Chain A
Amino acid sequence: MGQSNNATLESKEERLQKDLAYLKLTKFKKILFKTKKFFRGILPWLRNLLFAILNFFKKVGLGIAHECVNIVQTFIHGDWKTKVSYVIMGFGNLARGQWGRGVLFLALEVIFIIYMIFWGGNWLSQMGTLGTQGPEKIYDPIYDTYTTIYHDNSFKILLYSVLTLFFIVAVVYTWRVNIKQNQIAEAIIKSGKPLRSTKGDLHSLIDDQFHKTLLALPTIGILIFTVLPIIFMILIAFTNYSGKNNGYSNNLFTWVGWDNFNTLLNWNSGNKAYSAAFGEILAWTLIWAFFATFSNYFLGMLVAIMINKKGIKLKKVWRTILVLTIAIPQFISLLYVSKMFADNGIINGWIVRCGGEAIGWFSSDPNLARTMVIVINIWIGIPYLMLIATGILMNIPEDLYESAKIDGANVWQQYTKITLPYMLFITGPYLLTSFIGNMNNFNVIFLLTGGAPVNTAASSAAGNAGYTDLLVTWLFKITTGTDALYYMASVIGILVFVVVAFISIIVYNFMPSNKNEEDYQ
């Protein structure tokens, strides 16, 4: 802090000169200057990012090394109770009278050993092959039927292997905690204080260890229902798990390495159908997310400004009308609107009665369908944005506008110099999340068009992707289609993550509002 302060002090004069020079530039040159500055900033930024990533790994590595050293040192310097605890978890706790913790540690160890002997070891040993013997059909001459005998189940093998690995990591961590506790207990005894009893432990769970109590349920839920499936699906991307090879009722599936990524991204020739479809759908996903986010953002802001304008009466009525449309479940409005614009829907009915020709809003022209989707999304999104913008606009101090008026600023200038910067500053993080939300906006696309119109080029790949399909709807179609290429779906899912993470990192770093969260308290 101090250094940077000095640096700014030293160059203050210099900076002032630079600022003056900048102000003297023409408008065009100002823009040129800014773009140059932006591009010059990218390289150092990338370097910093790289350093940050390297630093992270360095930190993790050092942390692990430090832990290992600590474990060895504790063993050397510890008393016999501590030393026994290295083999029998919780022994130290039990020997020192903390039976509550000791019993838990010991129980975990016993359960772990039993599990590994009877089940875990078996699953892990099969993880390399994902099973060798598929289901068999055996002819039964007495009843003249075929019965299926199930042997290995690749899905279960993979799932339970991952679970076992989870378990092993958890036990290793607990083992480490167990050693640390011995170390701490020894230090406490040396200092002559009494150890905390089991009753004290329990009480601490609603006091200084309260976070453990509160977080237990939510984190277990996240671990089982988000972390486990994501790790599993990342592994699936390297197998050939599909409807044809589901490892249960038909063929086993097995590891295929990077083949699936190869097929989708096509870095070594071969079938181009997937890479073409992926490129096109990714491009449309990004275009869609951009337009869907910013059209809603600016139009919603405009509506909020209009309703907030002095002299407009019935403010509450206008707002309530828009807000009420939020209440009606989206699937109803989306399905209904999609049918309004159907080939034989109401809109075409009117057009025909007026002597026009029916238009295939969603079924013929890709560009028309895409525009329609964006426009209807505006209809869906404006009420939310109106609400958000209203809340923020009311916080802008009125005297800012008053003084701007006195200085002769017109409405447009007031908007670009006061309203917009303020909004952008505050809603920066929101814009990012809503951009990502729109990239994964399944409902609007799927319920409105179902991906139509058909894209003949892309549909040669699995999933029959159409022109308005996003990556997520394509993913859905792939997994629910007849082929059910789960491996392709998980590759796409991983790539969606990569794109989202990439955009987030960039935007987050260029955002002005990286605020300190404690500021609010």
Chain B
Amino acid sequence: MSEKDLKNNEPQVVEEFEEEKLEQPESDLRQEVAFDDTAVVSREKRHMGMKAKTRAANITIYVILVIMSAVWLVPFIFIVLQSFRCESTYLTGYVIPKQWGFDNYARLFTETKFPRWFLNTFIISVVAAVIQLIMVLCMSYTLSRLRFKGRKALMNAMLILGMFPGMLTMIVLYRILADAGMTQGNSIAGLILVYVASSGMGYYVSKGFFDTIPKSLDEAARVDGANRAQVLYKIILPLSKPIVIYTLLTAFMGPWGDYVFASYVAFNVSDGYNVAVGLQWLISTPSNIAANYTIFCAGGVIVAIPITLLFMFLQKYYVEGVTGGAVKG
């Protein structure tokens, strides 16, 4: 059949078909429609198969995601539930309290030194975050934008220093801080120093950020007569909001959840504990667990709430920093 024939035929077929439809009784019409369906199937079926396949895949993914979300959230839901348990304080094999109440929270604030620990942690985290921000910005801005003799050597030296386990330095730092009276009960100043002093070494993420700001901006400002310090605080800093917030957030979260340095500096004197060391101590021995397990849960909830709220508002910046940091290494 030639093309012309086909074209000429088409309208005729349709006309014939329509005429037939009109003439035929209902039952036959149904048959006709059914028949028509199978005719198209060969093309449609593949399409439908694909669709079914992707739908199946999507459903599987949804199931996995729901299970995952549950696995990720359930421990946190459990900890909240157990913090409201009043009938017993020890570790039990069930989750849902038989008797609800705020007893554990009340006891946390009256019977343990939690208020002191919380205050310690809060002061340390806030001060450390601010100083660390300054340190990191100084270091990363310099390494990213300024070229000077010894720059590469400095970066290599920091890379090598970073390969030593940080805990190694604590042995001697503890003695130095102890001589200066900044350990145990007075751990706040000592811990701030420990967190902050070497924080310039964590410049990688923000250097990666500064690297992405076009250098032509600096040059334009320099041509206009700005000195390097003016370039920093008039041109670069206003553009650096995301990295400033990211650095502050991580610098705050670090001390907030740090265990190892805090336990080293406080060294078994409960007045100097931060929340991590304090809460760990609450459940450190079997007898402590029996007496304090639900109190620990309450403490965990209280410690997690501020940081979670903060995180929810600043999540965008955190995500940017984390992804950017990994890409630029």
Question: A residues touching B (Cβ–Cβ < 8 Å)?
Answer: 155, 159, 203, 206-208, 210-211, 213-215, 217-219, 221-222, 224-230, 232-233, 236, 303, 306-307, 309, 311-312, 318, 320-333, 335-337, 339-340, 342, 344-346, 348-350, 352-353, 379, 383-384, 387-388, 390-392, 426-430, 433, 436, 440, 442-443, 446-447, 471-472, 475-476, 479-480, 486, 489-490, 493, 496-497, 500-501, 504, 517, 520-521
Q: How far is the CA of A504 from the CA of B159 in the complex (A)?
A: 10
> Are the CB atoms of B307 and A387 closer together than 8 Å?
no
Tell me whether B40 is interfacial, beta carbon within 8 Å. Answer: no
> Are the CB atoms of B293 and A218 closer together than 8 Å?
no
23 A–B contact pairs at CB < 8 A? Answer: A159-B172, A203-B227, A208-B228, A217-B200, A221-B198, A222-B201, A225-B193, A227-B161, A306-B61, A320-B315, A328-B76, A331-B279, A349-B92, A350-B93, A379-B71, A379-B72, A390-B323, A391-B322, A428-B329, A430-B329, A443-B259, A480-B264, A493-B167
Q: Which residue of B lies closest to A501 (CB)?
A: B163
Number of CB contacts from chain A to chain B under 8 A: 269
> Are the CB atoms of A349 and B327 closer together than 8 Å?
no
- What's the least CB distance linking A263 to chain B, in Å? 18
B44-79 with Cβ < 8 A to chain A: 54, 57-58, 61-62, 64-65, 68-69, 71-73, 75-76, 78-79
Known: A217-B134, A391-B322. 19 other contacts (CB 8 A): A159-B176, A206-B229, A215-B139, A218-B199, A219-B200, A225-B198, A229-B169, A233-B172, A309-B58, A321-B69, A323-B315, A325-B72, A327-B310, A329-B275, A330-B257, A335-B279, A379-B71, A490-B168, A520-B211
- What's the least CB distance linking A124 to chain B, in Å? 19
Tell me whether B35 is interfacial, beta carbon within 8 Å. Answer: no
> Are the CB atoms of A326 and B54 closer together than 8 Å?
no
Question: B residues touching A (Cβ–Cβ < 8 Å)?
Answer: 54, 57-58, 61-62, 64-65, 68-69, 71-73, 75-76, 78-79, 91-95, 134-135, 138-139, 141-142, 146, 148, 151, 154, 158, 160-161, 163-173, 175-176, 193-194, 196-201, 208, 211-212, 214-215, 227-229, 232, 253, 256-257, 259-260, 264, 275-276, 279-280, 283, 289, 293, 296-297, 300, 303-304, 307-308, 310-312, 315, 318-319, 322-329
Q: Which residues of the partner chain B approach A328 to less than 8 Å between Cβ atoms?
A: 76, 304, 307-308
- Which of B79, B165, B303 lies in contact with A440, CB distance below 8 A? B165
Q: Which residues of the partner chain B approach A332 to less than 8 Å between Cβ atoms?
A: 79, 257, 279, 300, 303-304
> Are the CB atoms of B141 and A214 closer together than 8 Å?
yes
Q: How far is the CA of A159 from the CA of B180 in the complex (A)?
A: 14
Q: Which residues of the partner chain B approach A323 to less than 8 Å between Cβ atoms?
A: 311, 315, 318-319
Q: Which residues of the partner chain A approach B304 to less than 8 Å between Cβ atoms?
A: 327-329, 332
> Are the CB atoms of A472 and B279 closer together than 8 Å?
no
A318 with B138: in contact, given A336-B300, A490-B168 (CB under 8 Å)?
no
Q: Which residues of the partner chain A approach B71 to less than 8 Å between Cβ atoms?
A: 379
Q: Which residue of A lies closest to B310 (CB)?
A: A327
